[in-house]
Amino acid sequence: MTSGEPLPSAWRSLRAGVRVAFAALLLAVHVAGGATDLSTLRWKDLLPPDWDSWHYYQNFYRLFPKVDDIDDKDPRAVAILAEMRRISSKVPSRDDLDGRHVRIPGFISPLRQGSAREIEAFLLVPYQGACIHRPPPPANQIVLVDPRSAVAAELEVRAVWVTGVLEVKRTETALGSAAYRIRNAQVELVDLEKEGQGLLRYRTR
C-alpha cells in the first residue's frame, strides 16, 4: 500500500481501537497511581505557610485565664468562650490539600456515640483532651472524621491514625470549628513502640 492510498476501513477501525485501548490504559494507570499516593501529614502541615500561629495563640490564650475561676454557666464565661470559638473559626486553611489521600496521627474527641458507646463521629485533634478538657485548637488544627465503621470507645484515650481523602470543608460542631473533613475514614491505633513518642509531639512551626 502506497502512502497516497486510503486505509481500508477494517484497518482504520483496528487502529482507532488500539488508540482507545491505549488511552484507557494510561487513564487506569493514572487513577491507580493517585489512589495509592498516600501522604503522611503532621499537624503543622495543615497550617498555611504564611499564617502566624504564634500571634493566633497569643490572642486566643489571653482569654482563657479569664474563665478559669468563673462558673461555666456564668454569662461572662459564656461570652468569653464564644469569643474564643469565633477566633478559632476564622483561621485560614490549606486549600491545596483538598482531595489528597492522607493519614494523620492524633486523638479523638467524640461527637456522636451509638448505643454501645461506640464512636460514630469525632473530631481528630493534635493533643489529648482538646475541645473537652482544654480549649479547642484553631479550626485548621481540627479534622471532622466520619469513620468507615464505629470506633471502640476505649480508643478515646489512645493515639490513632486516621486515613482517607481530606476535604477542605469548614464545619461547625458542638465542640469546635473544623476546617477539614475525612469521610469513610480508616481508624487504627498508633503503634508507639514502632513510631516513637516523638510522632505525637505537637508543633505548629
Q: Tell me if 63 is assigned to some domain.
A: no
| 30-52 residue pLDDT tens | 434 444 589 999 999 999 998 88
Give the pLDDT of residue 67: 60
User: Domain of 24?
Assistant: 1-37
Which region among 28-37, 39-48, 89-98, 196-205 has the lowest average model confidence (pLDDT)? 28-37
Q: Tell me if 77 is assigned to some domain.
A: no
Cα–Cα separations (whole angstroms), residue 194 to 116, 157, 191, 198: 31, 19, 5, 11
Give the pLDDT of residue 77: 75
92: Cβ contacts below 8 Å, ≥ 6 apart: 48, 51, 140
H/E element, 56:
helix 53-61
SS3 98: coil
Q: Tell me if 147 is assigned to some domain.
A: yes
Q: What is the mean pLDDT of the chain?
A: 79
Q: Tell me if 99 is assigned to some domain.
A: yes
Contact yes or no for 108/156 (Cβ under 8 A): yes
Q: CATH number, domain at 179?
A: 2.40.50.870
Rounded distance between C-alpha atoms, residue 100 and residue 102, angstroms: 6
Using a pLDDT cut of 90, give the percent of the chain over it. 42
Count of domains for the chain: 2
SS3 190: coil
Give the pLDDT of residue 52: 81
Among residues 193, 179, 85, which one has the least CA distance to residue 141?
179
pLDDT confidence of 13, banded at 50, 70, 90? low
| pLDDT, mean of residues 47-75 | 75
Strand partners, 134: 130
Strand partners, 36: none
Rounded distance between C-alpha atoms, residue 106 and residue 143, angstroms: 10
Residues 102, 32 within the same domain = no
| 113-172 residue pLDDT tens | 887 789 999 999 998 877 765 667 889 999 999 999 999 998 988 999 999 999 999 999
| pLDDT, mean of residues 94-119 | 92
Q: Tell me if 60 is assigned to some domain.
A: no
Give the pLDDT of residue 81: 75
